[in-house]
Structure 1
Amino acid sequence: MARGRAADFESTREEMLAAAAQLFARNGYPGTSMNEVAVACQVSKPSLYHYFKDKHELLVQICEGHLQTLSSLVDDVLAQDLAPEPRLRALIQGFVREYGESQYQHRVLTEDVKFLNDEDRTRLRQVERRVVAAFADAVAAVRPELAGARLEKPLTMLLFGMINWTFTWLRPDGELSYEDVAPMVADLFFGGLGAVRTSSDNALLQETAQ
């Protein structure tokens, strides 16, 4: 009789993926061995192979898991049926906050996706395109004339250029958190530098609204 999975199989697997993502983010995918992942997970190497057949599968699952989280975030925002501007703001701020929660996974997706095989990379690119399309549609909903000029996609890519690389400069122990930066990105995209509010400005607005 085949042995069934342990009750904590999925939670253990997720913990291993998180540990591997941290190692890949810090040392790079090529510079990380399965032995190092096993040590970080505090399991034997054979135990690690019980959950993942090889290092490539680890990379696939890290990238796919992060993209599916982002795709679900898009679905959650769209399900709220918000007006155009609040919808785009919710998407922007939701993504910035999620990047803060998944810094290692996001770095791996950004820097190590090139090490995936063609089949897996193509499949994940399809999820990425769906996410980008949702943002482009949101941009066009705010400024419908942009769609006629075919500018909604370039503007969306400029927006992602602003938020995708936040991890390269925003320190986890710094003065600003991802929660602080999220509304700044939205304000900057909508209104330029003059629209960015400080934390004291936001506090004043909240007091006025009460």
Structure 2
Amino acid sequence: MIATAADLFARNGYHGTGIAELGRAVGLGRGALYHYIESKEAVLYAISKDQVDKMNALAESILDKGLEPEELLREMARGLLRNISTHRSEWTVFFREYGALTGQRRDHVIAARERYESYWRQALDQGVRSGVLRPTPRILVKGILGMLNYTYLWFEPDGVLTPEELADVFLDALINGLSSRGVPQN
């Protein structure tokens, strides 16, 4: 039911999808549907919470591996792009619709998103402490995640690059920069 709702919300928008439409899509009448769900907002919350919780768990496990700073960042980026490419509808709903959540549901999703950002900050800080990376403004985490997250709009997992290869392209540009200084000319 959650996957079907994610597909509908991604295609039609959260506000553009009625509970009757969701019921038809999963083969349940309105009464039967409410036996399984509390509300349409509860479904939106489940979609949003599930993905960000998965990414937090993955980031925690990657941080616990004791990887070198560059590999740590690469693994985090690869994991995020793998998840986005596998759960594109869910991420579309998360990025476009989580603002429709209210009260504690909204607070929980925002806190979970901020926790995920903190894991990226920890990874960058490890690189600075080890001398591999230079200190960066705290806002850079939002820029990095924006670059990676925006792929939900255009990345095709069956295209030229795998999610892992795309993550490496982005991380190469981030870590090595785009400067041609010191790069031999052809």
Relative to the length of structure 2, the TM-score reads: 0.86
Question: RMSD value over aligned CA atoms?
Answer: 2.4
Residue 168 of structure 2 is aligned to residue 183 of structure 1: yes
Using CA pairs below 8 Å that are at least 6 residues apart, which structure has the higher relative contact order? 2
Of the three residues 32, 35, 38, the one matched with 1:50 is: 35
Q: Which moved more, 1:164-173 or 1:132-141?
A: 164-173
User: Hey, what's the Cα distance between the residues in 2 that align with 1:157 and 1:20?
Assistant: 28
Residue 45 of structure 2 is aligned to residue 60 of structure 1: yes
Q: What is the identity, as a one-letter code, of the residue corresponding to 1:79?
A: D
Relative to structure 1, the CA distance from residue 148 to residue 119 in structure 2 (aligned partners, 3 Å threshold; closer, same or farther) is: farther
Residue 110 of structure 2 is aligned to residue 125 of structure 1: yes
Of the three residues 93, 97, 104, the one matched with 2:78 is: 93
Q: Which moved more, 1:179-188 or 1:31-40?
A: 179-188
Identity of aligned pairs, percent?
29
Contact 1:93–1:186 (Cα < 8 Å) also in 2? no
Q: Which moved more, 1:18-27 or 1:82-91?
A: 82-91
User: Hey, what's the Cα distance between the residues in 1 that align with 2:178 and 2:30?
Assistant: 51
Equivalenced residue count is 179
Deviation >6 Å, runs of 4+: none
In the alignment, what sits opposite 1:115? 100
Q: What is the identity, as a one-letter code, of the residue corresponding to 1:143?
A: V
Q: For residues 157-184 of structure 1, give each alpha carbon's deviation from its aligned partner in whole angstroms, at most 9, with x where no partner exists.
A: 1101101111212235544443432221
Q: For residues 80-100 of structure 1, give each alpha carbon's deviation from its aligned partner in whole angstroms, at most 9, with x where no partner exists.
A: 121222111111111111111
- Structure 1 residue runs without a partner (length 5+): 1-15, 196-210
Cα displacement (A) at 1:103:
0.8
Q: What is the identity, as a one-letter code, of the residue corresponding to 1:188?
A: A
Higher helix share: 1
Secondary structure in 1 matching 2:139: helix
Contact 1:97–1:179 (Cα < 8 Å) also in 2? yes
User: Hey, what's the Cα distance between the residues in 1 that align with 2:71 and 2:44?
Assistant: 34
